[in-house]
Chain A
Amino acid sequence: MKSECKNYIEKILNDNAEQRDAFRAHCGECPECASLASDWNRMRNTAIPVSQVPLSLDFAVLAAADSALKRRVHRKVTLRRIIYYGAAAASVALACLVTIFPPDSTAKNHRVIAKTLDWSKFDKELFETAAAIEISHHCISIAGTPDAPNQNLPVIEEEQEQF
């Protein structure tokens, strides 16, 4: 066999329709490659007798496939359940925690606002507010409320009003 034949052997043994022209031209010149091509062609067109697969093997393999499939499906369902139940339990636990221990961020916000306020006049403002409340209480006790006005209050004359 010549060294150039090496380039054609794969083409001959593959025998693709696309490569056929390439090796046929070579086979016209090389009797060894022509013989290889014709021998392979003869052999590959001959069916090799294959004994039947026993039914017992068919059953065994298909049963194994079936049980593997069931296991896989069962594993998937179990995993999905674990995820769902886990997520539900985590949500309930989180809700409970938030209710019992409110998040720290609210208190933090309050502290931040308090820092921005001017506390220097706090005492004076507090005293004035308390005094105003005291006065308004006093007025209510004298005049009464709109629903129950104080009957002992002196009546203001019209003339005086006009004046």
Chain B
Amino acid sequence: MFKERHKTREMEVKRTDIELIEGYLSGNGRDFEELYDRYKKLLYGYLNNMLPQQQSTVDDIFQQTWLKVIQKLPEYRCNNHFSAWMIRIGHNLTIDHFRKNKKFVNQISIDNEDAPDFPDKDKLVWDSMDQSDFEQALGQVLETLQEEQREVFMLRHNGVSFKEIAEIQNCSINTVLARMQYAIKNLKKNLVAWKTGT
């Protein structure tokens, strides 16, 4: 009995996103629940990192994103991954929020930024950091990154491809790769600063 139930569960897990979407559109509400459970953490984490310390805005945009996803599901074409498509909707709503609050996103300054220096003494601290330090600090230090870098890092960390990130951010892959390099270097620098307490 248990094995059978386990098998059914495994079969459910194997269903692709497009199968779940088709199932929902043909009248099965359970399929949407599964799709939602699969991606809610990704979107919530993404929005939390894009809008740190703004819990009510995050909740609001999270809800708006899903409402738009529900509304646009019949138009969804599986050229991209569902996650990338959903994040793009969330990204656009976040940008709208920034615009409404007149927070100007200056892409040029970020892309032309020089890579931070990393002196030898910091290298020693970096090497001495253990996994627990990392886990404790990474979430906090992410907030110090500039928006585009943080977004690229978060998306790549969640397995979104560079091509899809470029589509989300409406820029070239080279720009995305540059942002990713800066993000890694800045995070490294800030993690060392967090460890040394400076």
Contacts and interface: CB of A to CB of B under 8 A. Distances in A.
Contacts of B142: 48
Interface centre among B27, B154, B181, B187 (most CB of A within 10 A): B181
Given A10-B173, A13-B177, A13-B180, A62 B33 contact: yes
Main secondary structure on chain A at its contact with chain B?
helix
Given A43-B157, A48-B139, A62-B36, 15 more contacts: A10-B173, A13-B162, A36-B181, A43-B138, A43-B187, A44-B156, A46-B131, A48-B138, A50-B44, A57-B63, A58-B40, A61-B40, A61-B70, A64-B66, A65-B32
19 contacts: A13-B180, A14-B161, A36-B184, A43-B134, A43-B184, A44-B156, A46-B134, A48-B157, A49-B139, A51-B44, A53-B44, A61-B63, A61-B70, A65-B24, A65-B29, A65-B32, A66-B29, A69-B27, A73-B27
Contacts of A10: 162, 173, 177
B67 interface: yes
Contacts, number: 88
A111 interface: no
B45 A50 contact: yes
Interface residues of B, number: 40
A54 B58 CA distance: 11
Contacts of B29: 65-66, 69
A47 interface: yes
A143 interface: no
B18 to A, nearest CB: 17
Contacts of B139: 48-49
Please indicate which of the listed interface residues B40, B70, B135, B161 has the most CB atoms of chain A within 10 Å of its own CB: B70
B48 A50 contact: yes
Interface in B38-97: 40-41, 44-45, 48-49, 59, 62-63, 66-67, 70-71
A50 B41 contact: yes
Contacts of B70: 61, 64-65, 68
Contacts of B25: 72
Interface of A: 9-10, 13-14, 36, 39-40, 42-44, 46-51, 53-54, 57-58, 60-62, 64-66, 68-69, 72-73
Contacts of A53: 40-41, 44, 62
